[in-house]
Amino acid sequence: IKTIGVLTSGGDAPGMNAAIRAVVRRGLSRGINMKGILKGYSGLMNEEIIDMTAVDVSDTIQKGGTILYTARCTEMRTPEGQKRAAEVCKKHGIDGLVVIGGDGSFAGAQKLANLGINAVGVPGTIDLDIACTEYTIGFDTAVNTAMEAIDKVRDTSTSHERVSIIEVMGRNAGYLALWCGIANGAEDILLPEKYDFDEQKIINNIIDNRKKGKKHHIIINAEGIGHSEAMAKRIEAATGIETRATILGHMQRGGTPTCKDRVYASIMGAKAVDILLEGKSKRVICYRDGEYIDMDINEALAMKKGISEYQYEVSYSLSHNYSKNNE
Amino acid sequence: IKTIGVLTSGGDAPGMNAAIRAVVRRGLSRGINMKGILKGYSGLMNEEIIDMTAVDVSDTIQKGGTILYTARCTEMRTPEGQKRAAEVCKKHGIDGLVVIGGDGSFAGAQKLANLGINAVGVPGTIDLDIACTEYTIGFDTAVNTAMEAIDKVRDTSTSHERVSIIEVMGRNAGYLALWCGIANGAEDILLPEKYDFDEQKIINNIIDNRKKGKKHHIIINAEGIGHSEAMAKRIEAATGIETRATILGHMQRGGTPTCKDRVYASIMGAKAVDILLEGKSKRVICYRDGEYIDMDINEALAMKKGISEYQYEVSYSLSHNYSKNNE
Amino acid sequence: IKTIGVLTSGGDAPGMNAAIRAVVRRGLSRGINMKGILKGYSGLMNEEIIDMTAVDVSDTIQKGGTILYTARCTEMRTPEGQKRAAEVCKKHGIDGLVVIGGDGSFAGAQKLANLGINAVGVPGTIDLDIACTEYTIGFDTAVNTAMEAIDKVRDTSTSHERVSIIEVMGRNAGYLALWCGIANGAEDILLPEKYDFDEQKIINNIIDNRKKGKKHHIIINAEGIGHSEAMAKRIEAATGIETRATILGHMQRGGTPTCKDRVYASIMGAKAVDILLEGKSKRVICYRDGEYIDMDINEALAMKKGISEYQYEVSYSLSHNYSKNNE
Amino acid sequence: IKTIGVLTSGGDAPGMNAAIRAVVRRGLSRGINMKGILKGYSGLMNEEIIDMTAVDVSDTIQKGGTILYTARCTEMRTPEGQKRAAEVCKKHGIDGLVVIGGDGSFAGAQKLANLGINAVGVPGTIDLDIACTEYTIGFDTAVNTAMEAIDKVRDTSTSHERVSIIEVMGRNAGYLALWCGIANGAEDILLPEKYDFDEQKIINNIIDNRKKGKKHHIIINAEGIGHSEAMAKRIEAATGIETRATILGHMQRGGTPTCKDRVYASIMGAKAVDILLEGKSKRVICYRDGEYIDMDINEALAMKKGISEYQYEVSYSLSHNYSKNNE
C-alpha cells in the first residue's frame, strides 16, 4: 500500500478530527502518502480529494466537528455509486481507505472492499449504536454535553419546583438517554428499546413524588420517542404541575472532545492504518473486552446489542426511594 | 433594624445563591437576625419563613438556582396582596427586606416600602433588562452557557455546511442575543429591539455567503422573536441549504455561576444589608459608572435602556466582509 | 444482613459521592439500614458513624470530594487496629461494609472480612492503578481536568514559543500521564513505568523540533518522576529556549464528576450492596471485559498491570513526524 | 491611512485573538490593507510582517493565546530600537498601528506615535492592572480559570480537612486574587497591595476556624507575595493541620475566552481601527463608566488605581462569621 485515503461519513461526532489526525500522522510516519477525501462518499464521487501533511492536522485534536466535512450519500447505496467510488479511488492511487463513521458508512466500506479497495472502518458516532464495539468515538463527549446541560436545567427546575422533560439524541438507541438518566439522577428515563408509552404511569409517579416532598422531576426522553413538547403539555394538564420540555438538539454533536474520545480516536485511527499495512481489508476497528482489536465487517454488521437490564433497573432504584426514609 | 428577610422572586438566575449568602452572612456579621422567605412573595403570603444561619448558606456560592425557591405571584400586584405581605413581615418581626429579582419584583418591594417595611432590591435576572444598572446577576453565566452551546452547534453546522438558527432567551431584551452574536461570530442577529421581519434579506445574505465560500451560517434569534423552527423550514425551502433550529431553553437559567456573577452578587448582597442598616428604604442596588451604588426604586423603575447601535453595527461588520479578501 | 456501613478511604476521587449515594439508596430500596462512617478507617475506630437516609445523599451525585470525608489510617495496618475496627462494626450492628478506595483500603476490608464483617471493595482512585479492574472511579474526571489545564498551558506556550513541562498526578502509575500525553499531543511523556532518565534525548528532541518549525514542545511528567522545576531549568540552560514547569497538583482530585464517573460509580455502588445481600464477602467490584463483575479480594490484590506498549508507541509516532511533510 | 498593522506584545491573554480578528476585519470592511506583525515589537524590528485577510482570522475568536505570537522586547525601550521600529513601519507602508498589550506595550506605542506612526493601544492583560480602563481583555477568562481550579482544590481540601494555599497570578496587582477570594469564599486573601506579612494572624485564624467546625481553610495568595510552598510548611508546623500549596501558573493565561472577553475584545479592536481612521493617534481604548472611549496615552500611563477597600472588607465578613450562629 502506497496511498491511504481517509473520510468521515454520516453524522459528525466529536473526536473525528483526532481520528483523522491519527490516521494521517500514523500513515506518514510509516512512509505512506495520505489523502483526505472531503464530504464523505459524496465528495469521493466528486473527486474532492486533497493531500494531507502532518501540518494539516496540527492543532485539530481538540476541535469538534470534522475538518474533512461529512455528508450522507444515497448514491453510495447503489451498485453504480459503489463502482464509481472504487474507480475514483483507483484513479487517485488510493489503495487503502479508512472510513470513520457508523454502520451505514461501514456498509459502503464493505462494498468498496469487495471492489478491490482495501478498506477499514473506524467507529465514530455519538449514539454508541455499533454492536461490534463497546465504544464509538464521540459518545463520551456527547453524553457529557447532555449531562451538563441537564444539570443546568435541573437547577432551574428545582427552583421553580417544575417537571422537566429533556430530549437527548438517539433515534434507535437509548445509550445517551440511559447514561444521562443515571448520571443526572433522573426520575424517569424513556428509551426506544423499552418505553411502553404508558404515560399514566409517569403521571402517577410525578404525583407520588410530589406528595413525598420532591422538588423536581426530571424525565430524560430519547429522540426516538420524541414529542417532548406535547408530552409536557399533557403532563402539566394531568398533574397541575408546571412542566417544561427542552430539546437539546445539535449541540450534542459538537464541542471539544473529552480525553476519552481523543485517546480512543487516536489509538483506533493509528490501528486502522497499521492493519491496512498488515495487508488486511474489510475490517472494523473495535474496542472489546478491554482491548483494541479488528473484526470482519460482515461479521460486525450482523451483530446486535441492547440496553443492560441491570443498569436500567439500578437507575430506577436510585431515584425512587426518596420517601422511605422520610417516613 | 433587628431582623432582615431575604427572598428571590421571578425567574431564577445563576448567582442568586451567592447573593442570598452575602445578605445572610453580612447581616449576621452585623448582629442582625436573618430570615429566609421561600418561594418569593407567594411564600411570604403563606408565611413560609425560615431562620437562616451562616451554615445554611455554606457551600452555596457555587450553586445554580435559588435555595429559597422562587415563584411568580399575581396576588402581590393587588393592594390586598401587598397589605397581606406587609402584615406577615410585621408578624415575623421582619423590619428589613432584601428582594432579589427583576423589575416586577422591585415593584413589589416598592409597595412594601410604602407600607412601612424597609425594602431594598438587588438586580437578578439573566436578561440584563433592568435599566438602572449596567449589570444584573445571572447575565454573565447565562451568556456564557449560551455561547458555549452555540460554539458546539457551530462545529457540527460547519461539518455539514448547514445553516443554523439558535434561539436564546430574551423576550423584550436582546442583550443575550447580541452578546452571543458578537462572541460566536454570528452572521445574523435578530433582536426584539431591531428586527424588521425582512426574512428575504437573511435569505439573500445566506446565498451570498455560500457563493463566497462560507461553510456555515449562524443566526442568533431572540426568544421575543421566536418561531425558529418555522423560520428554519422557510429558509431551507428558499435557499435549498439544510437549515436546523435549536432552542436553548431553560438550560440558560441554571449552572454554576461564573466568577463575575459570584463577585457582583456578593458585593450587591452585602451592600443591600449595609444600606438597610444606614436607615435607607425603597432603594435598588445598581452597578453604574464602575461603582456599586443605590438608587430610589421609583426613579429606577422609570428608566429605559436600549441596545447599543455601535455594537450592533460592529458585530455585523466583523462577520460580513469575508469575501473582500478572497477576491 | 440488616445494616450496611459505607466509608471512603485513602485519597479522594471525583465520583466517590455518586458511589456513596448508590450504596445508600440501593440498600434502602432493599430494606437495609444504612450507616455512613466518617473519615475512613480512622473514623470507624473513633465511632464517627451516622445514619444515612435517601435525603442525605440528595444532590450529591454531581459533587466532587467525599461527603463522608476521608483519611489515611496507619492503625488499620496493625492487628490491634483491625480488631478494634471489627468490634466497632459489631457494636453498631454493621454486618456489611462497603469500602470505597484503592488497594490499601481493600487490604483493610480483607482483614475485616477475615474478622467476620462482610466486606466489599469498590475501586475509587484517580490513578487507575488497581490491577483487577479496567476502571477506577475518579480517573475520567481527573484525566479531563488535567487535559483541559494542559490545553490552556499549550495556548500560552505556543504564543511565547516556549517549552512546557506539566506534572500530573501518579506516583507509581503513569495512566494519567499517558492519556494526557495522547490527548494533548505531547511531544514527550515521562512515565514512572518507562522513563530512563535520559534527559539529553529530550533536549535533542526539542532542538530538532524547533529546527523543523514547531512552535511549542509539551512534556507531560508524572508525579512519580517529579522534579519538574529543576528539569525546566536544565532544559532551558541546554537548549536556550524558555522553559516553564507547571505542577497541576490537587485540583486533579476535585471537581464535578464526568458522566462516566457518575455512571460507573452508581452501578458499582449498587452492585456492592447486591452482592453483600447475596451473601458474598471479601470481594471487589471490578469492570472487566465490558462487564461489572466481582472478584475475590486476595486474588485482586495479587494482580499486576502495566502500561500498554502499543499506546505509548502510537503516542510518540503521532507527535513526532511533523517535519517529514515539510521537507 | 491606507495600511494598518496589528501586533500583540507582553504576556498573552485570552481574547487577544478576538481583538486581532476585530482589528483585521474592521479594517478590511473599511477598505484598509491589513498587516499582522509577528512576535510583538521584536518581530517588528525583524520585519516579520504578513498580510492579513478575513480568512486568516476565521475560526480564531474562540482560540486562546495569540495567533500573532508575542514576546517581550528590551530593544524597544531604547531610542535606537524605537527609531528602527518606526523605520520598519514606514518601509512596509504601515501608517496606522494597533498594539494589543499592557502598560509596557503602550509605552512603545507612545514612542512610535512620537516618531510619526499613528498608534493606538488596546488593553490586553489578565492582570487588570491598567489604570485608565475598568476592563482589560483576558481578565475574565483568567479569573474564571483560576476560580474553577480553586473550586476543585476546595473539594479535596474539604474531604481531607486540609488547609490549602492557592497561588494565582498577579505580580503587582491583586485583582485576580481578590475576585477569586470573593468567588471561592476564601478565608484569607493575600494581596500585594495590602498584605502585612503577619503570618501569625493567619495561623490564629485557622486555629479559630477549626475550633468552630470549619472543614477547610482556603488561602488565596497572589504571585507578587509568592513563597506558597514555604508558607504551607510553616502553617502546617504551627497549626498541626495538613497544609498544601498549589501554584496555578501558566494555565491562567490560556483557554477559550469567555463571552465577556470575546465581546470586549471585538468592540475594542473595532474601535481602535475606527479612531485611527478618524485621524487620531497616541490613544488608548478604554472601558470607563459603562462606555468604550479613547484616551491620550500619556494621560493613561500617568493614572493609578487600587484595590477597593469595601470589596476587601466584604469578602472577609462573608467568610468569617461561621461560628456566630452555631453558638
HSE toward the beta carbon, residue B65, CA cutoff 13 A: 23
Does the structure show a pLDDT above 60 at C325?
Answer: no
Instruction: Please tell me which chains touch B, using 3 or more CB pairs under 8 Å as the contact test.
Output: A, D
pLDDT level of residue A322 (50, 70, 90 thresholds): low
Q: From CA A226, how far away is CA C168, in angstroms rounded?
A: 43
By the 8 A CB rule, do B317 and D27 touch?
no
Q: What is the mean pLDDT of residues C236-257?
A: 97
D95 is catalytic: no
Q: What is the mean pLDDT of residues B11-31?
A: 97
Q: From CA C26, how far away is CA C12, in angstroms rounded?
A: 22
Q: Please provide the average confidence, as pLDDT, over all residues in chain D.
A: 95
Please name which of C107, C153, C122, C144 lies closest in space to residue C247, comparing C-alpha atoms. Answer: C153
Does the structure show a pLDDT above 50 at A324?
Answer: no
pLDDT in tens, A218-265: 999 999 999 999 999 999 999 999 999 999 999 999 999 999 999 999
Q: What local confidence, expressed as pLDDT, does residue D291 receive?
A: 95
Q: What is the mean pLDDT of residues A135-152?
A: 98
CB D70 to CB C160 under 8 A?
yes
By the 8 A CB rule, do C123 and C268 touch?
yes
Q: What local confidence, expressed as pLDDT, does residue A16 receive?
A: 98
Q: What local confidence, expressed as pLDDT, does residue C12 receive?
A: 96
Q: Which helix (H) or strand (E) holds C145?
A: helix C139-159
Does the structure show a pLDDT above 70 at C139?
Answer: yes
- Where would I find the beta strands (DSSP E) of chain C? 3-8, 33-37, 49-51, 96-101, 118-123, 163-168, 188-190, 217-222, 243-247, 283-288, 291-296
Query: What is the block-wise mean pLDDT of chain D (327 residues), using blocks of 10 residues?
Result: 97 97 97 97 98 95 97 94 97 97 96 97 96 96 98 95 97 95 96 94 93 89 97 97 96 97 98 98 96 96 92 92 46
Q: Please provide the average confidence, as pLDDT, over all residues in chain A.
A: 95
Look-up of cell digits 452597578: B287
Percent of chain C scoring above 70 in pLDDT: 98
DSSP for B223-282 reads: TTT--HHHHHHHHHHHH-S-EEEEE-GGGGG-SPPPHHHHHHHHHHHHHHHHHHHTT--S
pLDDT in tens, B169-205: 999 999 999 999 999 999 999 999 999 999 999 999 9
Whole-angstrom CA distances from B221 to A250, B150, B245, B316, D293 are 16, 12, 10, 14, 29
Domain B142-252 has CATH 3.40.50.720: no
Contact residues, chain C, for D148 at CB < 8 Å: 255
- Residue B172 φ then ψ, to 5°: -115, -15
Closest chain B residue to D175, measured at CA: B263
Every domain of chain D and the residues it spans? 3-138+257-302, 140-253
Q: What three-state secondary structure class fits C33?
A: strand
Q: Which three cell numbers stand for residue A70?
A: 461529512
pLDDT in tens, A47-96: 999 999 999 999 999 999 999 999 989 999 999 999 999 999 999 999 99
Look-up of cell digits 408578624: B91
pLDDT level of residue B326 (50, 70, 90 thresholds): very low
CB B254 to CB A145 under 8 A?
no
By the 8 A CB rule, do C125 and C138 touch?
yes
Dihedral angle computed from the Cα positions of residues B136, B139, B141 and B142, in that order, rounded to the nearest 10 degrees: 150
Q: What local confidence, expressed as pLDDT, does residue C212 receive?
A: 84
pLDDT in tens, C82-120: 999 999 999 999 999 999 999 999 999 999 999 999 999
Q: What local confidence, expressed as pLDDT, does residue A327 receive?
A: 34
CB C155 to CB D246 under 8 A?
no
User: Integer distance in angstroms from the first to the last C-alpha of chain A?
Assistant: 71
pLDDT in tens, A31-60: 999 999 999 999 999 999 999 999 999 999
pLDDT in tens, C189-224: 999 999 999 999 999 999 998 988 888 899 999 999
Does the structure show a pLDDT above 60 at C323?
Answer: no
Contact residues, chain B, for D322 at CB < 8 Å: 54-55, 58
CATH superfamily label, C142-253: Phosphofructokinase domain (3.40.50.460)
CATH of C3-138+257-302, one of 3.40.50.450, 3.40.50.300, 1.10.3720.10, 1.10.1030.10: 3.40.50.450
Q: What local confidence, expressed as pLDDT, does residue D322 receive?
A: 52
Which one from C127, C188, C261, C294 is the annotated catalytic residue?
A: C127
Q: What is the mean pLDDT of residues A121-150?
A: 97
Percent of chain C scoring above 90 in pLDDT: 94
Q: What local confidence, expressed as pLDDT, does residue C321 receive?
A: 64
Contact residues, chain C, for A29 at CB < 8 Å: 317-318, 320-321, 324
- Where would I find the beta strands (DSSP E) of chain D? 3-8, 33-37, 49-51, 96-101, 118-123, 163-168, 188-190, 217-222, 243-247, 283-288, 291-296
- State the pairing for strand pair B283-288/B291-296: antiparallel
Q: What is the mean pLDDT of residues A149-160?
A: 96
Q: From CA A5, how far away is CA A51, in angstroms rounded?
A: 9
Contact residues, chain B, for A161 at CB < 8 Å: 69
CB C152 to CB D251 under 8 A?
yes
Assign a CATH topology to domain D140-253: Rossmann fold (3.40.50)
Distance in Å, alpha carbon of D201 to nearest chain B alpha carbon? 19
pLDDT in tens, B235-269: 999 999 999 999 999 999 999 999 999 999 999 99
pLDDT in tens, B162-177: 999 999 999 999 999 9
Does the structure show a pLDDT above 50 at A198?
Answer: yes
CB C156 to CB D71 under 8 A?
no
Please name which of D57, D64, D66 lies closest in space to residue D27, comparing C-alpha atoms. Answer: D57
Q: What local confidence, expressed as pLDDT, does residue A325 receive?
A: 41
- Are both D3-138+257-302 and D140-253 of the same fold? yes
pLDDT level of residue B321 (50, 70, 90 thresholds): low
Q: What is the mean pLDDT of residues B137-157?
A: 97
Q: Which of A14, A145, A155 is opposite residue B65, by nearest beta carbon? A: A155
Q: Which three cell numbers stand for residue D276?
A: 485611527
